[in-house]
Structure 1
């Protein structure tokens, strides 16, 4: 399976006990497509998560004030009031994780939304495996914060989804890119097998997809790593990848 967008399905999900959520977490789901909202809500219901539905930007702004959600999921093509405007309003009042749902025709909305404070991006329509990531964001908003991850002159902040290299902001990475970089940094100087990356990030065991190669290439581009002679994310031929902490 590659990284193309798929609709939410009723495939088996991790047991609720696998997550240490706070009591009655609230997810605000803003999406103009009722079918998409219902599909994701069915997944979140397995974890006893309360979902607030919003069909447009105006409803989202009203519900944010009323419900104070633990995490927000905004469609990039939010109507009436666009996602970037909603984000700026939310960021002026709340420090809450906001995930941007990006469809195949939403490229123009992504930049403004990230600049306005989106925490991460996920593919839309949503896949069932993204549910776990939403829950992890909710857990962090309840106080289970991860510390700043530092590898030489490369830093990754799990709370803000910011990555900096030699003090310069790399930018807000797509969700899978962030997860991949996090895995490599946690295991800095160690060789991480492709099978492990695929299993932990995509939950797959097949060996034919080039998804990992594509994401590694994107990470190198963002970090300014020479694709022909990379110094930060090195390829161990036939095995996997190793992150070498960059120096100043």
Structure 2
């Protein structure tokens, strides 16, 4: 089984303390969740209650458009494979009418939709099934006026542009990164020159989903390969033994 595939179930417990969740919008922010899977809707609703986040949910794209217009939620989270009206179409239509962040939930079979969704105005794409802490953090997009995730990052000749879902080295695009590798590189570049612990990577990108001990190691190895980093003597993504990883901007 691939390390980046979830089993379809939300974790039974969330290891994060609810009081420590950084929810910047004050009390009772609202997430509108559009997902055809009732288990996911009910599970995420219960988990986000620990973060004092209210969830309004519906099962298809037509209902999502109606609820978005009526309720004006802080964030709209739609799955890519919505029935009636698909998630990408919902995203485009909401973007024309409302200024709220719209986030696309992407399953293992939906990764081809990530680039077009971001190009169409998605604020971010997140892995589905969802991790409650990751969804709670999306509320910071609304608080920052939707200027959070879409800012390009530059580390020497290495650039990452979330708005186009593109990574370039010396101006040359790399192969398209899977969503989780893109998120991992974004985290490392956002904290360039700083050591990011394995615990922080696990908490921010996987939560309870990183069940296998080599999950992070595998994704780091794949990232190094895509960036042309020597796997035996890496210079860009360096291992800090026993702690985590540090991204060092490559030489120009």
Question: Same fold by TM (over 0.5)?
Answer: yes
Instruction: Tell me, yes or no, if structure 1 residue 11 matches structure 2 residue 13.
Output: yes
Residue 189 of structure 1 contacts residue 243 of structure 1 at CA under 8 Å; is this kept in 2?
yes
Gaps of 5+ in 2: none
Task: Determine the structure 1 residue equivalent to 2:40.
Answer: 36
Cα separation, partners in 2 of 1:50 and 1:182, compared to 1, 3 Å: same
Query: Is the partner of 1:92 in helix, strand or coil?
Result: helix
Tell me which of 32, 46, 52 is aligned to 1:48: 52
The alpha-carbon deviation at position 171 of structure 1 amounts to 9.7
CA shift in 2, pair 1:188/1:19, >3 Å: closer
Partner Cα distance (2:206, 2:128) in 1:
16
CA distance in 2, matches of 1:101, 1:40: 13
1:64 to 2:43 alignment: no
1:30 Cα deviation after fit: 0.3
Q: Distance in 2 between matches of 1:136 and 1:199?
A: 12
Quickly say closer, same or farther: Cα 1:175–1:48, change in 2 above 3 A.
Answer: farther
Partner in structure 1 of residue 144 of structure 2: 143
Is residue 101–residue 121 contact of structure 1 (8 Å, CA) maintained in 2?
yes
Correspondent of 1:74 among 72, 78, 84 = 78
> Could you tell me how far 1:178 is from its partner in structure 2?
4.5
Taking the aligned partners of 2:181 and 2:72, their CA distance within structure 1 comes to 29
Worse-matched range after superposition: 183-192 or 8-17: 183-192
92-101 or 79-88, larger mean C-alpha shift = 92-101
RMSD: 3.8
SS of equivalent residue, structure 1 residue 87: helix
Report the alpha carbon displacement of residue 41 of structure 1 after superposing the two structures with TM: 0.5
Task: After TM superposition, list the pairs within 5 Å mapping 1:1-248 onto structure 2.
Answer: 2-6=3-7, 7-12=9-14, 13-23=16-26, 24-107=28-111, 109-126=113-130, 130-143=131-144, 150-155=154-159, 165=168, 176-190=180-194, 192=196, 194=198, 197-198=201-202, 201-202=205-206, 209-220=213-224, 224-226=227-229, 228=231, 231-235=235-239, 240-248=244-252
91-100 or 81-90, which moves further after superposition?
A: 91-100
Question: How far did 1:135 drift?
Answer: 1.6
Task: Give 1:181 deviation, angstroms.
Answer: 2.4
Distance 1:162 1:124, change over 3 A: closer
Distance 1:64 1:154 in 2: 38
